[in-house]
């Protein structure tokens, strides 16, 4: 394994000084790119939002690998996924109730799931 070239206090991306007093000391992070090691300044840590195309520090990544700014573009996919799973579960319990109409546990789970789903839908109003 080759030894990385140490850039010291230089940003490995823009090569600007990140030492104390440089104005880029705060929020720098230790970094390497496989060839050089040093730090990465806050500006070089920013990513472009795949929706609004603004450069941002705080972002979320979708399951498809897209980057979205937290402040205005990110929509929690997890909530969408949960609602989809609840709808799927509702259909499964309805099918089970048709097959086993006298099963009290299936009926209880189905009713509780419907109540929970109604609460989730009510939060969007």
CB 25 within 8 A of CB 18: yes
CA dihedral 82, 52, 50, 24 (to 10 degrees): -110
Give the pTM. 0.51
Render pLDDT for 75-106 as a digit per residue (tens, 0 to 9). 765 566 666 777 777 788 788 888 888 888 88
| Of residues 84, 109, 83, 81, the one with CA closest to residue 94 | 109
pLDDT (average), residues 51-61: 87
The helix (run of H) or strand (run of E) holding residue 117 is helix 104-123
């Amino acid at each position: 394994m080759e030894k990385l070239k140490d850039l010291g206090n230089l940003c490995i991306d823009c090569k600007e000084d990140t030492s104390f007093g440089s104005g880029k000391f705060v929020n720098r992070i230790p970094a390497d790119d496989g060839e050089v090691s040093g730090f990465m300044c806050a500006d070089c840590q920013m990513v472009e939002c795949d929706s609004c195309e603004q450069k941002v520090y705080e972002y979320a990544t979708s399951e498809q690998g897209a980057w979205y700014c937290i402040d205005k573009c990110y929509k929690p996919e997890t909530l969408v996924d949960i609602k989809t799973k609840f709808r799927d579960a509702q259909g499964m319990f309805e099918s089970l109730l048709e097959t086993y109409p006298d099963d009290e546990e299936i009926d209880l789970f189905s009713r509780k799931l419907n109540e929970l789903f109604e609460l989730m839908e009510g939060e969007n109003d």
